[in-house]
Chain A
Amino acid sequence: MESEGLILFFIIGAVLVGAAVAVSSFAPPTSTNPQKAETYECGIPTEGTSWLQFNVGYYLFAILFLIFDVETVFLFPWAVVMREVGMVAFVEILIFLTILGLGLIYAWKKQALKWD
């Protein structure tokens, strides 16, 4: 079983959630009350929407993640063939990781890793 198994597991997962939600949407007793549809925030009326601007810190870490995740994508194929290729692969990855390490040190010195 190869890639069709992926579709199978996707479908099972969807069916599992779908069936339970379907049962739960008609089985329980319901009552309507305008208070129930309010956003839960400390019991006082909600001020405005929450779809607004947020701290740039999260964005910065997402960018850093992107850089290093692309790096891991390059490292995975290298890791598989490392044993066969030998010395050449080792020297190459040393250069590659040094450049990336310099990038990390740069981000560190620029206070990009500091949360505020």
Chain B
Amino acid sequence: MAIDIYDFTGMTSAIHESLSAVLSPAATTIVEMTIIGIVFILFYALVGLFLVYAERKVCAFIQCRLGPRRVGPRGIFQTIADFIKLLMKELLMTKNADKFLFNLAPFIVIIASFMAIGAMPFAKGLHALDFDIGILYVLAVSGIGVIGILLAGWSSNNKYSLIGALRSGAQIVSYELSVGMALMTIIIFAGSMQLSEIVASQANGWWLFKGHIPAIIAFVIFMIASTAETNRGPFDLAEAESELVAGFHTEYSGIKFAFFFLAEYMNMFVVAAFGATVFLGAWMPFHISEMIPYAEYFNMGMDFIPGFIWFFGKTGMLILLMMWFKWTFPRLRIDQLLTLEWKYLLPINLVNIVITAFFVLTGFHF
């Protein structure tokens, strides 16, 4: 198949073999881990910088403004300037705060998003953590992030922070159910929780198209619930600036505030990449049915686009969708938020799982 021309498995195994030829096994592992670590730190920083810039530009476009345009050509260095500014700001702490937990909270939110990014299949062979329970792993580590938010709000000893953190806790734990159950639809179709196997099962079509109506319902629920889980868009009750100052991070300043800000964007990336992996086939190119005339030439053309471009393209589209949500919908109230989850999404999800199981049983899918 033509997909194999962009296979990174050979590259990674070549690096591994050349390293183990000169080094002992333990040293090889350490060197490899250092390489992976440096690559992921750079990647993380790059994605963070780009997403903050993209968000400001998209927001400006929707609100008929220009957005950042002074620092660098078209303002592309604006985020770097902001980062340096935040790094040079004094770190403040209130005298009543719980000092240990106050300092611990940014670590937890960043580590949670970092561990989730490690499990993403960027291209064939570029997959750092490929567990056989991949989906469960991503759900688990992204669930840790809420502990950081709760700690931040509680340890600040500020009423706004406490209310923001509690709202965020109620919201994230509620919507986590919907995310898990929406993904369960695809697990039933694919029969595996390993991300690489789920990607491989989409070689002849993405699950969004192959899975009929259940997959489309699951995708819509996944996008709503995961937007809520990242504390974004119409669901940003935890930091509702018109009522709670800044919610759970009211008392944070300088770089610690920047980490909460960054974690939100990285969680958005994780969620979009995860959605692209499970529903849209990660790095699998778009193929049309062989029954359409000249389909094979179209498919061959699609195969020439490298896998990582497909992956980042799909992720970027989903991120754009989430930004669009944020700048067009008004913020929900807490009772509307919980009603949406418990009275609509959860029952629909339960029925959807049964329908999916029925479809798989009768073989009524491609």
Contact = CB atoms under 8 A, between A and B. Distances in A.
A39 B96 contact: yes
B243 to A, nearest CB: 12
Interface of B is mostly: helix
B157 A51 contact: yes
A68 B169 CA distance: 16
Nearest to B192: A80
Most interface-central of A20, A38, A69, A90 (chain B CB within 10 A): A20
A106 interface: no
B90 A79 contact: no
Interface residues of B, number: 79
B350 A97 contact: yes
A36 B181 contact: no
Interface string A1-26: 11011101111111011101101110
A83 B360 contact: yes
Contact of B354 (A10, A49, A64, A97): A97
Contact of A39 (B158, B184, B192, B339): B158
B304 to A, nearest CB: 30
Contacts of B89: 24, 28
Contacts of A114: 335
Contact of B177 (A69, A79, A81): A69
Interface of A: 1-2, 4-6, 8-14, 16-18, 20-21, 23-25, 27-31, 36-41, 46, 49-51, 54-55, 57-58, 61-62, 64-65, 68-69, 72, 75-76, 79-84, 86-87, 89-90, 93-94, 97, 100-101, 104, 108, 113-116
Given A24-B91, A29-B90, A40-B245, 14 more contacts: A6-B129, A8-B33, A9-B115, A10-B115, A20-B255, A40-B251, A51-B157, A61-B173, A76-B193, A80-B187, A101-B347, A108-B343, A113-B339, A115-B334
18 contacts: A5-B36, A9-B128, A12-B40, A12-B41, A12-B114, A16-B41, A24-B88, A28-B89, A30-B90, A40-B158, A50-B157, A58-B166, A62-B170, A65-B176, A72-B180, A84-B191, A104-B350, A113-B338
Q: Which 8 A-B pairs have the closest CB atoms?
A: A13-B111, A115-B335, A13-B114, A37-B95, A79-B187, A24-B255, A65-B173, A83-B191
Interface of B: 29, 32-33, 36-37, 40-41, 44, 87-96, 103, 106-107, 110-115, 118, 128-129, 131, 136, 154, 156-163, 166, 169-170, 173-174, 176-177, 180-181, 184, 187-188, 191-193, 245, 250-251, 254-256, 258-259, 334-335, 338-339, 342-343, 346-347, 350, 353-354, 357-358, 360-361
